[in-house]
Chain A
Amino acid sequence: MASSTYEHSVRLDVNKCTGCTTCLRRCPTEAIRISDGHAIINEARCIDCGECIRVCQNQAKRAVVGRLEDMERFRYKIALPAPSLYGQFDNLDDVDYVLDGLLRIGFDDVFEVSKAAELVSAYTRQYLKTEGIRLPVISSACPVVVRLIALRFPSLNDNVMHMLPPMEVAATLARKRAKERHPELADEEIGVCFISPCPAKASYVKNGFADYQSSVDVVISMSDVYFALISKMSRESEVEMMTESGMVGIGWATSGGEATALFNDEYLAADGIENVINVLEQIENDNIPPVKFIELDACTAGCVGGVLTVQNPFIAKTRLQSLRRYLPVSKNFLSTEEQQYIPELYLFNELPEYEPMTLLSRNMAESMRMMADIQRLRNMLPGIDCGACGAPSCHALAEDIVKGNASLQDCKILEKQGG
């Protein structure tokens, strides 16, 4: 199964894990079990949402991303800052200080992801006019959501927009620009580094989509860059005017930004993994108002809520509001000619194939027998979902037993009752 080859960006440090049940209960896909005193992540179920990193008291869960030093192997280094980066700094009145700072810490060029986002927004407005697309169109920008749909909401796969996320478009355009400015550079001498608010983007870069490989070379954590930047960033001296994006591009950092950029109020925007799952359920039930576009962000408040950020998402959001204040709506437009079709570089063809995450057996009769056993076991268990057995709920333990991964003796309550 393809899932076993999916390379994740959320890892566990066994030595730091105390085997408490905090992450167990918070994992939205029930991918975690506690065994031998520590957590185990089921890779086939993990969607890289980072909830476990967020809630772990012992810093035992961490994101596996690249480091700034990984860029040293490239002769020409390009930084792609996610717009959420701008919300991390206190008293910042101009994005240019951040862009200038990135050059100071060793990058040769900076290509704002917010610039690419404005182009993606412009093309999305075109995309929504395409005849025959299935409505509502679901944004493909959050990689957690795309993987969640592939694993759990296969009937909505055809609603996912086949537009590449701004990070990817930025990477392609940044390379193109580097080649134009420096024709002497060979492809492999150009390194593209995405400054990410979340581990899921790192997974996306490692794994791509079904038939798509990312043009980003290294993904580094926003918090690492933040600490490298604050000592090098100038605040007083005049910096060159560099920014090439407006309100729309920066708006992508927070929930609703992508949707409002469509200049059409027929949209739904939801953030936070539980809300996202709930909305997907409701779309499947045909129980949402008739909207054209759905923006779903796995993190609360949008990308500013990613686990690799430094600042509280709502504080970051407020800072972005003041940064956006005097900016033009957008700095990136499509000419009449460009509006005729969506170029290849913005699109991907195939989505990941449905991997039935919770399927009991490929044989329906066998699945039915297993589920009958699960129901029987579930009725024997105490139903208090204490987590002491290492499964997130009594139901999950019943499933684990039937799948042969646990036994009834794992239930501490039954044991105490002499069961």
Chain B
Amino acid sequence: MSEPLIFHFDVDGENFASAGQASTQVKKNLRQLGVPAATIRRVSIAMYEGEINMVIHANGGTADVIVNEDYIEIILADKGPGIPNIEQAMQEGFSTATDQIRSLGFGAGMGLPNMKRYTDTMEIDTMVGVGTTITMYVYL
């Protein structure tokens, strides 16, 4: 077994235009590693949604993608407001995004549901006022 590979990204909460860069880079890296195209697509969509969420709601955070030979782990951590009601947040179409964010085409309430749909497991660890850490696994 080889050592897991870790890709670390700081997601800049100040710069909305840069959102989505980490998932683009991860996609490139996974392609170089020879991860199947369908899996790359799942990882990059889940990660893209998480990245956008961190920028919209939490003023940025960190994204770590840990590649093992048989699974990929994605950890998105922020020090944002936390999610008061996870069940509600997981409903398709539920969103607390502002009108300004919606005017940019985001805030459709599909972020968390898509992250769950495109990964094999997803755990949300959140505390109001402290932050949120989302851990997702995609098996190879």
A residues sitting closer than 8 Å to B (CB atoms) are: 152, 154-155, 281, 284-287, 354, 356, 358-365, 367-369, 371-372, 375
Q: A285-B48, A358-B28, A360-B33 are in contact. Are A368 and B69 (CB under 8 A)?
A: yes
Chain B residues within 8 Å of chain A by Cβ, number: 27
Is the beta-carbon distance between B45 and A364 smaller than 8 angstroms? Answer: no
Which residues of B11-25 have CB atoms within 8 Å of chain A's CB atoms? 20, 23-24
1/0 per position for B30-49, CB-CB distance to A under 8 A?
01111101101100110010
In the complex, B79 has a CB within 8 A of chain A: no
Is the beta-carbon distance between A368 and B2 smaller than 8 angstroms? Answer: yes
Which residues of B40-66 have CB atoms within 8 Å of chain A's CB atoms? 40-41, 44-45, 48
In the complex, B3 has a CB within 8 A of chain A: yes
Q: Using CB atoms, name the residue of chain B closest to A363.
A: B34
Is the beta-carbon distance between A368 and B31 smaller than 8 angstroms? Answer: no
A29 CB to nearest B CB, Å: 12
Q: A154-B37, A155-B40, A367-B32 are in contact. Are A286 and B45 (CB under 8 A)?
A: yes
1/0 per position for B97-114, CB-CB distance to A under 8 A?
000000000000000001
Q: Using CB atoms, name the residue of chain A closest to B7.
A: A375
Is the beta-carbon distance between A155 and B5 smaller than 8 angstroms? Answer: no
Is the beta-carbon distance between B32 and A365 smaller than 8 angstroms? Answer: no
A267 CB to nearest B CB, Å: 17
Is the beta-carbon distance between A358 and B32 smaller than 8 angstroms? Answer: yes
Q: Which residues of B contact A281 (CB under 8 A)?
A: 24, 27
Q: Which residues of A contact B34 (CB under 8 A)?
A: 356, 359-364, 367
- Which of A285, A360, A361, A362 has the most C-beta atoms of chain B within 10 angstroms of its own C-beta? A285
Contacts beyond the supplied A356-B34, A359-B31, A362-B34: 14 A-B pairs with Cβ under 8 Å: A152-B31, A155-B40, A281-B24, A284-B41, A285-B48, A358-B31, A359-B32, A359-B34, A360-B33, A361-B34, A364-B33, A365-B2, A372-B2, A372-B3
Is the beta-carbon distance between B2 and A287 smaller than 8 angstroms? Answer: no
Is the beta-carbon distance between A371 and B33 smaller than 8 angstroms? Answer: yes
In the complex, B29 has a CB within 8 A of chain A: yes
Enumerate the 9 nearest inter-chain pairs by beta-carbon distance, A residue then B residue, closest first. A155-B37, A367-B33, A365-B2, A154-B37, A358-B32, A368-B2, A285-B48, A360-B32, A155-B41
Alpha-carbon distance between A118 and B41 when the two chains are bound, in angstroms: 35
Is the beta-carbon distance between A372 and B33 smaller than 8 angstroms? Answer: no
Is the beta-carbon distance between A287 and B48 smaller than 8 angstroms? Answer: yes
In the complex, B67 has a CB within 8 A of chain A: yes
B13 CB to nearest A CB, Å: 19
Alpha-carbon distance between A286 and B52 when the two chains are bound, in angstroms: 13
B37 CB to nearest A CB, Å: 4
- Tell which of B2, B23, B114 touches A369, judged by Cβ atoms closer than 8 Å: B2
B58 CB to nearest A CB, Å: 20
Is the beta-carbon distance between B1 and A365 smaller than 8 angstroms? Answer: yes
- Tell which of A285, A354, A368, A375 touches B33, judged by Cβ atoms closer than 8 Å: A368
Q: Which residues of A contact B27 (CB under 8 A)?
A: 281, 284
Alpha-carbon distance between A93 and B114 when the two chains are bound, in angstroms: 54
Alpha-carbon distance between A285 and B28 when the two chains are bound, in angstroms: 13
Is the beta-carbon distance between B29 and A371 smaller than 8 angstroms? Answer: yes
Q: A358-B31, A361-B34 are in contact. Are A368 and B5 (CB under 8 A)?
A: yes
- Tell which of A154, A354, A368 touches B3, judged by Cβ atoms closer than 8 Å: A368
Alpha-carbon distance between A196 and B41 when the two chains are bound, in angstroms: 36
Q: Which residues of A contact B41 (CB under 8 A)?
A: 155, 284
Q: Which residues of A contact B35 (CB under 8 A)?
A: 364
Q: Which residues of A contact B114 (CB under 8 A)?
A: 286
B3 CB to nearest A CB, Å: 7
Q: Using CB atoms, name the residue of chain A closest to B114.
A: A286
Alpha-carbon distance between A359 and B33 when the two chains are bound, in angstroms: 6
Alpha-carbon distance between A369 and B34 when the two chains are bound, in angstroms: 13
Q: A365-B69, A372-B3, A372-B5 are in contact. Are A285 and B23 (CB under 8 A)?
A: yes
Alpha-carbon distance between A284 and B23 when the two chains are bound, in angstroms: 11
Q: Using CB atoms, name the residue of chain A closest to B140.
A: A364
Write 21 A-B pairs (CB below 8 A) sorted by A numbering.
Answer: A281-B24, A281-B27, A285-B23, A285-B48, A286-B45, A354-B37, A364-B33, A364-B34, A364-B35, A365-B2, A367-B32, A367-B33, A367-B34, A368-B2, A368-B3, A368-B4, A368-B5, A368-B33, A368-B67, A368-B69, A371-B29
Q: Which residues of B contact A369 (CB under 8 A)?
A: 2-3
1/0 per position for B112-134, CB-CB distance to A under 8 A?
00100000000000000000000
Alpha-carbon distance between A369 and B41 when the two chains are bound, in angstroms: 23
Q: Which residues of A contact B3 (CB under 8 A)?
A: 368-369, 372
- Which of B5, B33, B40 has the most C-beta atoms of chain A within 10 angstroms of its own C-beta? B33
Is the beta-carbon distance between A285 and B44 smaller than 8 angstroms? Answer: yes
Alpha-carbon distance between A362 and B2 when the two chains are bound, in angstroms: 15
B5 CB to nearest A CB, Å: 5
Is the beta-carbon distance between A371 and B32 smaller than 8 angstroms? Answer: yes
